[in-house]
Structure 1
């Protein structure tokens, strides 16, 4: 159990009520230190999913659970729970079970002490923005787009083949500007600019799709607020989209 939150555990032990509401500032006063940034950023930090060695053992092993997490007002409520904390047991893979059945010596790996399990669910929908064309000067021209953060997908539908390029950016308008007029050292932008020009010249139709909102993410059953200005968050969605698109009969231009 994490010693960092020992004082919070003692505080919960001293409670006579079955519920107590605390602000994040009050919790920081109790533990005599600042909460990590993730506690104020992700609901999943307050999850009641029992994992040995995780900070939430502080309340789970004392028979408490968190509810009504509100990061906007920086508050959380603790309630007495009738559900005992479970210690997760290491799972044997099919290969390990087969080896054991064959009488082989197998080393069983134990679950990691911190956040060993991740049950992640991600859902989002591409929105059609418009088409990429060549202007009167033969330069690449993109449809108008927000200067905010998001994901983008270029669908190159050619006569002989179809390709998809998926990317992310903290500023979509600037990223498309790089593709229109790449600098001499911007290797990726140079490659995409050439790909777009060659594809349009060969008769391909290039559609642009974006994701800038309504992304739903849950981790271990807890709904997580999605901030697309967070690069790690965008990259997770980007790679999920690449994997999902790779399951269709389309060439991924990212490779």
Structure 2
């Protein structure tokens, strides 16, 4: 079995003078589901979460509505732990000068045997399959000395890189 997807860049994530997140325009994504990747590139002289020169960090997720998910990251509710964690992480990284990018994937395929079939972005199960494949690939290929991962670990614990992060997890 194989999963294939392609990332489409949407643009930069910014922070305004009031400290609120600004996501790229998503008018074309109204009510569209898929998987997304938020990637940060830190300034060359900055340190990662363990006082080492980690230049990159990322977060990968899936949702039935990308536009609504980014709204929740911008305006998390008081009981939305993941949305609060992502909001705090993004604001912290942007305030320290990290460049943050948003990519999405709607074109996802699954191969079973020799046959490729499209994955349905309206299906939570199929989006989760693509998200898990993207996370697994990222965890297995990322250089742990140069990349911090904001996702929880594959065992559902907070990833080792973020246990001592300056934002709540």
TM-score normalised per structure 2: 0.76
- Following superposition, the deviation at residue 176 of structure 1 comes to 0.2
Corresponding position: 1:154 with 2:38: yes
Runs of 5+ consecutive residues of structure 1 not aligned to the other structure: 1-119
**What is the match of residue 167 of structure 1?**
61
| Structure 1 residue ranges (4+ consecutive) displaced by more than 3 angstroms after TM superposition | none
Corresponding position: 1:252 with 2:136: no
d(CA) in 2 for partners of 1:141, 1:165:
17
d(CA) in 2 for partners of 1:167, 1:224:
21
* C-alpha RMSD of the superposition: 1.2
Cα deviation digits, residues 7-61 of structure 1 (max 9, x gap):
xxxxxxxxxxxxxxxxxxxxxxxxxxxxxxxxxxxxxxxxxxxxxxxxxxxxxxx
d(CA) in 2 for partners of 1:209, 1:219:
26
Secondary structure of the corresponding residue to residue 241 of structure 1: helix
**What is the match of residue 192 of structure 1?**
86
d(CA) in 2 for partners of 1:132, 1:225:
29
d(CA) in 1 for partners of 2:115, 2:138:
26
d(CA) in 2 for partners of 1:225, 1:191:
32
d(CA) in 1 for partners of 2:94, 2:131:
25
TM-score normalised per structure 1: 0.51
Determine which of 132, 135, 150 is the counterpart of 2:16: 135
Runs of 5+ consecutive residues of structure 2 not aligned to the other structure: 48-53, 153-169
- Following superposition, the deviation at residue 138 of structure 1 comes to 1.8
**What is the match of residue 243 of structure 1?**
136
**What is the match of residue 126 of structure 1?**
7
Determine which of 226, 247, 250 is the counterpart of 2:119: 226
Query: How many residue pairs are counted as aligned between the two chains?
Result: 135
Corresponding position: 1:217 with 2:110: yes
Structure with bigger gyration radius: 1
Cα deviation digits, residues 70-101 of structure 1 (max 9, x gap):
xxxxxxxxxxxxxxxxxxxxxxxxxxxxxxxx
Asked if 1 retains the 8 angstrom alpha-carbon contact of 2:33 and 2:64, the reply is yes
Q: Which has the higher contact order (CA 8 A, sep 6+)?
A: 2
